[in-house]
Structure 1
Amino acid sequence: MPSDSGSSTQAISNILAAYFAILGIIFLIAIIFSLVVYWRIFSKAGFNGAMSLLALVPGVGSLIVLCILAFGEWPALRELEMLRNQVRGQQGQQFPPFNQQGGPQMPSNPNYQPDGPQYPRY
């Protein structure tokens, strides 16, 4: 009889070991996926992608990353604004042109119908 309880505890410990191994693999995949996503977001924002490694800081890492992305000045937007200012200087007008109501000025297109789709047809 003692051999039966020993084999059942051995089976339970094997099941628990497999369960925790699978959980560990899933956890590792989730961490790697989130790092890749943060890396892509930082790269598209104009930051160094390695800043995504800040998410690995225990406890507050993801909060730090989100604060940088939400409240920081993105280099890509800074570059876009610089390019828009250059275009404004060359054209001598506001870019993009706005009408009196503050909305974008629609191109003069005889096929444009206000009742239809709200984009010009070419």
Structure 2
Amino acid sequence: MSHLPAMAPHAELSAWIESREELLSSALLGGEPGLCAVFLSCDDQGDYLLRLCDGADDRWMTWREQRRLRSGFGRSYAEAIANAALTRLERGGWQLEWMARTAPAALPALAA
């Protein structure tokens, strides 16, 4: 598992992930202490990674946590865990400021 750089701007952390993995979602939350970022990505082995960063602002964030999620449960499970992390942060006083998600590459075809 590759770890994020210890400290960098939010944009640089996103670019770092995108150059090594598929970034599935990214969120910025604001609160009294500054900003918090949540990243969900998928690596080449099919493992899902949940990462949390925070900082005084988006120009300098510190990596706080990285979790490997069980790939056997699939993307829906990984997204549910990321949403649970966002919910815990919001209950802790953080407010969602911005979020972006990628859509699955191929949606299932409807039977005719």
* TM-score (norm. length: structure 2): 0.23
Greater CA radius of gyration, 1 or 2?
Answer: 1
Which is strand-richer, 1 or 2? Answer: 2
Which is helix-richer, 1 or 2? Answer: 1
* TM-score (norm. length: structure 1): 0.22
User: Higher RCO, 1 or 2 (CA under 8 Å, sep at least 6)?
Assistant: 2
